[in-house]
Structure 1
Amino acid sequence: MDKLKQRIVEEGVVVSNQVLKLDGLLNHQVDPQLTMEMGKEFAKRFRDAGVTRVVTVESSGISVAFATAYELGVPLLFARRKKTLLAEPDMLCERVPSFTKGIVTDILISREFISADDKILFIDDIIANGDAARGLIKIIERSGAELVGVGIVVEKSFQPGGKAIRDQGIRLETLAQIESLEGGKITFAD
C-alpha cells in the first residue's frame, strides 16, 4: 500500500533504531479513510479463507480490525487487556509482555464469543517481537477455533515477531514491512 508507506514516511517518528512512533495515523489518531482502505486490502487478501470472525488485541488494532471485519461482513472480537468486574471467571487468558509499553499484561477473550466452529483472522497494527501475537494465537488454539491468518499493518522485519509467526506455518500478510530504522531513516523491505 503505497499511500500507507507515504504516510509512514511523512508522519512516522523514528524514536530509536528499534522504535517507530505512528501516533498521527495509527496508534493515537486514526485516519478513517486510510483505515478503511487498509481494511479493504486485508479483506481482499483473506476473502477466500472463510473468515467467520476477526480478532485483535485492545486497543491500537481495533480500528483496522473493525474496517476488515466490516469489509468481510463478520463480527469483530477484541482481546481485553484488563479484567473487568463483569468478566466471566473462565475467560481464555494469556500473559504477554509489551515491547513498546515495557510491561507485562494479560489479554483475555470470553469463551462466549469464540468457538471451535470459527475461522479466525487476527489483525493488528504493528508486530515487533510478536509477544502479543503469540499470546493471542495461544488463546485461539485453546478455543479450538482455526486461525486462517494474521494481517499486520506494519511489520518491523528487523525484529523477530513476523518471522516467528511464519515459522509456525501461519500465513502472515503485512501492508508495510520496515527493514530498518537505522540513522533515523525509515527503510521499507520492498
Structure 2
Amino acid sequence: MEWLKERIIKEGVVLSEQVLKLDALLTHQVDPALIMEMGREFAARFKESGVTKVVTLESSGISVAFAAAFELGVPMVFARRKKTLLADPDALCERVPSFTKGIVTDIMVSRQFIGEHDKVLFIDDIIANGDAARGLIKIIDRAGAELIGLGVVIEKSFQAGARTLREQNVHVESLVTISSLEDGKISFS
C-alpha cells in the first residue's frame, strides 16, 4: 500500500505524538478513486469469508465501508452516533469514548439491519485505543451476528487498540500501520 503511505505523508498533518489529522484524505474530504481502491483491497482480503454485511461507525468510516460493501456486493450498515426522532427505540446501543473527539457518545444500530444470520465485516478508518471498535463489536455480538474481521485503513500500532483486539482473536487487517508520530514525523511499520 505504498500509494496510500505516500498520500498520508503528503496530506496528513501531525498534531501531536498521538494525533494525525487526515481531513484532506479520510475525515473531511475524500478522493473517490482512492476510496474505491481501499474498498477493493478490503474486499480482496475478506472475499472468501462469506461476508453478508459491512458495518462501520458514523462518519469517517462510511466512504471506505461503502466501497468495500460495493466490491463485495453486500449491504453496508453504519452505527449512528446521535439519536433522532426516527431512531429505532429497540436499537442495539453501546456507550463509547472517542479518542480523537475527546468525548463519550452512544453508538446505535437498528436490530432490523443486523442479525444472527449475518457474517459481518467491520471497516474503520483509524484505530487508536480501540474503544469505539470494541463498542461496535459488542453490538455485533449482541445482535447474534458473526464478526468475520475488522478492516482498518490506518492502524496506529503505538496505541493498544488493534493489538488488544488481536489478543481477543479478532482478525484485524490494516492497510497501513503507523509506528510513530514522534517529532512531527510519520513513521510506518
Q: TM-score, length-normalised on structure 2?
A: 0.99
Partner of 2:117: 117
Structure 1 residue 110 displacement after superposition: 0.1
Partner of 1:10: 10
**Separation in structure 1 between the aligned mates of residue 3 and residue 32 of structure 2, nearest angstrom:** 14
Structure 1 residue 88 displacement after superposition: 1.6
Amino acid at match of 1:99: F
Q: Secondary structure at the match of 1:176?
A: strand
**Separation in structure 1 between the aligned mates of residue 49 and residue 64 of structure 2, nearest angstrom:** 18
Q: How many residues in Structure 1 have an aligned counterpart in Structure 2?
A: 189
Cα-Cα RMSD: 0.4
1:107 paired with 2:117, answer: no
Amino acid at match of 1:23: D
1:171-190 matched pairs, under 5 angstroms: 171-189=171-189
**Separation in structure 1 between the aligned mates of residue 119 and residue 86 of structure 2, nearest angstrom:** 27
Structure 1 residue 31 displacement after superposition: 0.4
1:76 paired with 2:76, answer: yes
**Separation in structure 2 between the aligned mates of residue 53 and residue 88 of structure 1, nearest angstrom:** 19
Q: Which runs of 5+ in 2 are unaligned?
A: none
Partner of 1:144: 144
Q: Secondary structure at the match of 1:106?
A: strand
Mean Cα deviation higher: 85-94 or 37-46: 85-94
Runs (4+) of structure 1 exceeding 4 A deviation are: none
**Separation in structure 1 between the aligned mates of residue 12 and residue 79 of structure 2, nearest angstrom:** 26
Structure 1 residue 83 displacement after superposition: 0.8
Amino acid at match of 2:13: V
Partner of 2:45: 45
Q: Secondary structure at the match of 2:117?
A: coil
Partner of 2:129: 129
1:166 paired with 2:169, answer: no
Q: Secondary structure at the match of 1:173?
A: strand
**Separation in structure 1 between the aligned mates of residue 113 and residue 27 of structure 2, nearest angstrom:** 26
Note the alpha carbon deviations across 1:118-162, whole angstroms, 9 max, x for none.
000000100000010000000000000000000000000000000
**Separation in structure 2 between the aligned mates of residue 6 and residue 63 of structure 1, nearest angstrom:** 20
Structure 1 residue 188 displacement after superposition: 0.2
**Separation in structure 1 between the aligned mates of residue 113 and residue 35 of structure 2, nearest angstrom:** 25
Structure 1 residue 91 displacement after superposition: 0.5
**Separation in structure 2 between the aligned mates of residue 56 and residue 88 of structure 1, nearest angstrom:** 18
**Separation in structure 1 between the aligned mates of residue 89 and residue 33 of structure 2, nearest angstrom:** 39
Partner of 2:21: 21
**Separation in structure 2 between the aligned mates of residue 86 and residue 178 of structure 1, nearest angstrom:** 39
**Separation in structure 1 between the aligned mates of residue 113 and residue 187 of structure 2, nearest angstrom:** 39
**Separation in structure 1 between the aligned mates of residue 78 and residue 66 of structure 2, nearest angstrom:** 10
Amino acid at match of 2:68: T
